[in-house]
C-alpha cells in the first residue's frame, strides 16, 4: 500500500468529508459500545422465566429453597466441567456474575494469604498485575479499584507475548497476577495457543503466590461450527508443578440471561478450599433455585452446545456484516486493520496511530456511540491511540450495518486528514 499523491489525497479527503456530512445529516442514534446479548438472544432462554416449574428438589435431593450448598448444585457443575476444563469437584457454581467472583478473589487475596503466599497481598509493599493489551476494561477497573499496578504486555496472534511475560514475572516478586481471556479474547478475538498455555503454566515466577486469572468468559461462544479448543490450564499447571497457579472463571451471562445467569470459579483443590473458606464468611450459600432452573433448561453439555448454536444463528450474521462492510469500505486502503474473530463478542479495529480518539468523537457526533478510545488499555490510555473495540451483538442487524458503515466513513475522514496534514 503506497501513500497516494497529494491531489489524490485531497480528493479522498473531500469524498470522506462529503460522506461524513451526509452521515451526520442522517441523524442516527446507534450504539456499538457494550458486549451485551440482543433481546432475541435473551428470548432463547425464555423458559427460565417459568422454570423450575414449582419444583425445588435437585437430583441429589438438595432442597434448593434452603440455605447451604456453598459449592453450588453438583449436576450443574457437571455440565460446565468439560467446557471450563475444571473437574466438577473443583468447580464452584455461584450467583450471577463472574466479574464479582474475580473481584472477590482479589479481595480475598488482599485479606487472606492465598495458598503458597508469604503474606496477604494487602501487606505487600506493592502488588502488580500483567495486563495483556488490548484487553477488557473491567479487569483494568478492578486493578484500579484496589490500587494494583497494571503492567501492559502486548498481545500476539498466540496470546500474550510470552517472552515479555516470562522476563517480567521472573524478575519482580511483586507481580502477583496476569489477566487472561484465553478463548476469543475481549476485544481482539485471539485464542491462546497450546504453547502459550504451557509457558504460562510452567514459567518460573519470582512471586511464590503468582496467580493466573483465567477468565474463560467465551468458553462456548463459537461463531463457527468448529469450536476452537484451548489447552487445559489446570492440567498444564499441575503438570509443571505449579498446581495452584490458575484461577478459572466463567459464567452463563452470554448463554442464558446476562443479568440472571450462573457464574463459576474453578481451581486446584487448595485454592478451592481457600476460596470457599473466605466465601463462607460472605454468604451461607448461592441461589440454588437459579442453579436448578439452569439445570432443567440446559439438561447436559449437549443441551448447552445446542443452545449456543441458536445464539450463533443470531449473532453470526452481525459479525459477517462487520467483516463485509469493513472489507468493502476500508480493505486495501491501508487505513485500518481489524480482527476476524471465530467466537466471542467483539471485533478490534486498529486505525493509524493517533486517530482512534478522533474517530470515536467523529462517530459520536454522527450519532454512533463506540466504546471510548483507550478503554482497551490500562488506565484508559492507549499510548498509540490506535485501537477501537466494536461490539456488534446487541443492535439489530440493520443497525449494526449502518453503524459500521458510519464508522468506516469516520475512519476514512480522520485517517486521510492525518495523511494530508503529514503531506503538507
Ligand atoms: N469477562 C469478560 C472477558 C467479559 O467480556 C465479560 C462481559 N463483557 C465478563 C467477564 C463479565 O462476565 P459476567 O457477566 O459473568 O460478570
pTM value is 0.97
Residue 394 DSSP code? S
Ligand 1 pocket, 137 CB below 6 A?
no
Q: Give dist(CA 58, CA 55) in Å, integer.
A: 9
389 forms bridges with which residues in the sheet?
Answer: 348
The phi, psi pair for 178, rounded to 5°, reads -140, 140
Write down which residue in 298, 323, 354 finishes a domain.
Answer: 298
- The complex scores an ipTM of 0.99
Q: Are residues 264 and 399 in the same domain?
A: no
pLDDT at 281 over 80: yes
Question: How is the beta sheet containing 246-251 ordered, strand by strand?
Answer: 91-93, 263-267, 246-251, 211-215, 175-180, 128-133, 149-156, 159-160
Q: Are residues 288 and 338 in the same domain?
A: no
Q: 315 Cβ partners below 8 Å, 6+ apart?
A: 38, 41, 223, 392, 393
Ligand 1 centroid to 112 CA: how many Å?
Answer: 25
Write down which residue in 298, 321, 339 finishes a domain.
Answer: 298
Q: Which three cell numbers stand for residue 68?
A: 447451604
Ligand 1 centroid to 254 CA: how many Å?
Answer: 8
Q: Give dist(CA 387, CA 150) in Å, integer.
A: 18
Ligand 1 pocket, 13 CB below 6 A?
no
Name the residue range of residue 135's domain: 57-298
Tens of pLDDT, residue by residue over 368-383, are: 999 999 999 999 999 9
Ligand 1 centroid to 75 CA: how many Å?
Answer: 23
With contact defined as beta carbons under 8 Å apart, do 174 and 128 qualify?
yes
Tens of pLDDT, residue by residue over 174-231, are: 999 999 999 999 999 999 999 999 999 999 999 999 999 999 999 999 999 998 999 9
Q: Are residues 311 and 293 in the same domain?
A: no
- Give the pLDDT mean for 33-37: 91
388 forms bridges with which residues in the sheet?
Answer: 349
Angle at 59 between CA 57 and CA 62, to 5 degrees: 45
pLDDT at 1 over 80: no
Write down which residue in 245, 272, 298 finishes a domain.
Answer: 298
Helix (H) or strand (E) holding 231: none
**Mean pLDDT, the chain, integer:** 97
pLDDT, position 174: 98
The phi, psi pair for 289, rounded to 5°, reads -65, -35
pLDDT, position 21: 97
175 forms bridges with which residues in the sheet?
Answer: 128
pLDDT at 3 over 70: no
Amino acid at each position: 500500500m503506497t501513500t497516494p499523491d497529494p491531489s489524490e489525497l485531497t480528493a479522498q479527503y473531500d469524498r470522506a468529508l462529503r460522506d461524513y456530512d451526509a452521515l451526520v445529516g442522517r441523524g442516527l442514534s446507534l450504539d456499538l459500545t457494550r458486549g451485551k446479548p440482543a433481546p432475541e438472544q435473551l428470548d432463547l432462554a425464555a423458559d427460565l422465566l417459568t422454570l423450575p416449574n414449582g419444583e425445588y428438589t435437585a437430583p441429589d435431593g438438595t432442597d434448593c429453597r434452603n440455605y447451604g450448598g456453598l459449592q453450588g448444585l453438583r449436576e450443574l457443575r457437571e455440565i460446565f466441567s468439560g467446557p471450563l476444563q475444571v473437574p466438577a469437584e473443583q468447580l464452584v457454581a455461584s450467583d450471577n456474575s463472574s466479574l464479582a467472583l474475580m473481584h472477590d478473589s482479589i479481595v480475598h487475596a488482599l485479606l487472606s494469604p492465598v495458598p503458597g503466599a508469604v503474606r496477604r497481598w494487602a501487606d505487600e509493599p506493592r502488588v502488580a498485575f500483567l495486563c495483556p493489551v488490548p484487553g477488557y476494561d473491567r479487569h483494568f477497573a478492578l486493578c484500579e479499584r484496589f490500587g494494583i499496578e497494571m503492567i501492559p504486555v502486548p498481545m500476539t496472534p498466540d496470546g500474550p507475548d510470552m517472552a515479555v511475560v516470562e522476563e517480567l514475572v521472573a524478575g519482580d516478586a511483586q507481580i502477583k497476577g496476569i489477566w487472561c481471556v484465553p478463548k476469543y479474547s475481549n476485544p481482539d478475538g485471539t485464542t491462546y495457543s497450546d504453547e502459550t498455555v504451557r509457558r504460562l503454566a510452567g514459567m518460573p515466577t519470582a512471586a511464590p503466590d503468582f496467580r493466573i486469572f483465567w477468565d474463560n468468559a467465551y468458553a462456548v461462544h463459537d461463531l463457527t461450527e468448529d469450536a476452537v479448543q484451548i489447552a487445559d490450564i489446570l492440567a498444564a499447571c499441575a503438570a509443571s508443578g505449579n498446581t495452584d497457579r490458575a484461577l478459572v472463571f466463567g459464567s452463563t451471562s452470554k448463554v442464558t440471561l446476562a443479568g440472571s445467569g450462573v457464574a463459576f470459579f474453578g481451581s486446584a483443590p487448595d485454592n478451592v478450599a481457600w476460596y470457599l473458606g473466605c466465601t463462607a464468611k460472605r454468604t451461607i450459600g448461592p441461589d440454588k433455585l437459579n442453579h436448578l432452573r439452569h439445570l432443567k433448561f440446559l439438561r447436559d453439555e449437549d443441551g448447552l452446545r445446542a443452545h449456543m448454536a441458536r445464539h450463533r444463528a443470531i449473532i453470526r450474521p452481525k459479525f459477517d456484516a462487520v467483516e463485509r462492510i469493513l472489507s468493502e469500505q476500508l480493505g486495501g486502503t491501508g487505513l485500518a486493520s481489524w480482527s476476524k474473530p471465530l467466537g466471542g463478542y467483539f471485533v478490534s479495529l486498529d486505525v493509524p496511530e493517533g486517530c482512534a480518539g478522533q474517530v470515536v468523537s467523529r462517530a459520536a457526533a454522527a450519532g454512533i456511540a463506540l466504546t471510548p478510545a483507550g478503554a482497551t488499555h490500562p488506565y484508559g490510555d492507549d499510548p498509540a491511540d490506535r485501537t477501537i473495540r466494536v461490539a456488534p451483538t446487541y443492535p439489530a442487524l440493520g443497525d449494526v450495518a449502518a453503524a459500521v458503515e458510519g464508522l468506516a466513513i469516520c475512519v476514512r475522514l480522520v485517517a486521510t486528514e492525518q495523511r494530508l496534514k503529514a503531506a503538507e
